[in-house]
């Protein structure tokens, strides 16, 4: 749901015009399967192993911070950011974006003592974004961008940083709310 809200806000901020593409159910299933496998692999490594071990050694807060930094830095390589010209600002942004969302999923794992909820969030986020945006190996599965208005770079930076911070905060709020509800039942 949060990913779809992101698509809606991006559509408003950048005045994106969308065109529906011919939907291929088989490709949609393959895409979902791909994102489930990739999220499962990452979640087993970063939350199932690294975070779990760090929590036992260092406590939850330090473990969440360290595992999130590692998760963010890992995405430099999975996004191929060292292939060609290295852009420092892009590296910082990816570390911040993926590190913070990784922190919210690590917090979710710690709070629920289960990998299921963060795995669902991770898979759902990656899959939902692939429905609208280019995302290798799958992307623009339902809609394709026809046009997009570029905005002032400072406004764009503010928007991107706000999005990078607010989405993980919303995840934490949702997790806190849902676990409080579970505690009462």
Q: For residue 137, is the peptide bond before it cis, meaning its omega torsion is within 30 degrees of 0? A: yes
Tokens of 51: 């975070």
Reported as a single tens digit per residue, the pLDDT across 111-137 is: 999 999 999 999 999 999 999 998 878
Reported as a single tens digit per residue, the pLDDT across 130-155 is: 999 988 788 899 999 999 999 999 99
Closest CA to 103 of 65, 46, 55: 65
Where would I find the H helices in 113-152? 116-130
Closest CA to 51 of 92, 107, 13: 107
More confident residue, 180 or 47: 47
Report residue 184's pLDDT band, with 50, 70 and 90 as the boundaries: low
Q: What was the pLDDT predicted at 73?
A: 98
> What mean pLDDT is predicted for residues 165-174?
96
Reported as a single tens digit per residue, the pLDDT across 2-42 is: 999 999 999 999 999 999 999 999 999 999 999 999 999 99
**Contact criterion met (CB below 8 Å) for 3 and 125:** yes
Angle, vertex CA 43, rays to CA 112 and CA 104, nearest 5: 55
150 CB-near residues (< 8 Å, 6+ apart): 14, 156
**Contact criterion met (CB below 8 Å) for 71 and 54:** no
């Amino acid at each position: 749901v949060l990913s779809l809200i992101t698509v809606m806000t991006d559509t408003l901020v950048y005045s994106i015009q969308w065109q529906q593409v011919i939907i291929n159910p088989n490709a949609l299933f393959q895409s979902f399967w791909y994102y489930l496998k990739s999220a499962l692999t990452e979640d087993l490594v970063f939350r199932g192993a690294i975070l779990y071990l760090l929590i036992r050694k260092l406590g939850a807060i330090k473990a969440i911070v360290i595992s999130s930094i590692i998760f963010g830095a890992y995405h430099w390589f999975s996004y191929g950011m060292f292939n060609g010209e290295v852009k420092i600002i892009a590296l910082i942004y990816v570390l911040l974006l993926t590190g913070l969302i990784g922190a919210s999923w690590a917090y979710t794992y710690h709070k629920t003592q289960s990998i299921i909820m963060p795995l669902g969030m991770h898979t759902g986020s990656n899959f939902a974004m692939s429905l609208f945006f280019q995302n290798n190996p799958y992307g623009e599965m339902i809609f394709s961008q026809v046009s997009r208005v570029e905005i002032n770079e400072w406004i764009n930076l503010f928007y991107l940083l706000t999005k990078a911070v607010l989405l993980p905060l919303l995840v934490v709020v949702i997790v806190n709310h849902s676990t409080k509800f579970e505690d009462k039942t």
